Amino acid sequence: MAEQQSSKSADSLFLSLVSMLATACWQQMGKMPSPVSGKVERELNHAKMTLDLLIMLRDKTKGNLSPDEEKAIQSTVSNLQLNYADELLKTDNQQTKN
């Protein structure tokens, strides 16, 4: 019983970690305001590092996740990758115009 409860707690903690990293990445891409300043701040280098952390976490935990955890981290990484690529295109387009 205690082991099952501990497993549920670990599942919850894993999903919370993924969510925290994803939220940080959204903020760093300028898609969400910073909770500290309330301003939208775009730091693509930081977003790339956070995205790389999520990819590493996904790869290192492969085979050790529940189906729900696997789906959550995979969809989170995919969604962030698409949005990061979109932000890079915006940067390239802005630099081309200037």
Q: Which is more confident, 53 or 11?
A: 53
Q: Which is more confident, 54 or 94?
A: 54
Helix (H, G, I), strand (E, B) or coil at 66: coil
The ranges assigned to domains in the chain are 2-97
Angle CA(56)–CA(54)–CA(68) in degrees, nearest 5?
Answer: 105
Annotate 66-80 with b (16+ C-beta within 10 A) or e (fewer). Answer: eeebeebbeebbeeb
Lowest mean pLDDT among 33-42, 50-59, 69-78: 33-42
What's the CATH number for 2-97? Answer: 1.20.58
Q: Within 10 A of 42 (CB to CB), how many other CB atoms are there? A: 14
| Residue 6 confidence class, pLDDT cut points 50, 70, 90 | low
Structure-derived torsion over alpha carbons of residues 88, 90, 92, 96, reported in degrees to the nearest 10: 180
Q: Which is more confident, 30 or 10?
A: 30
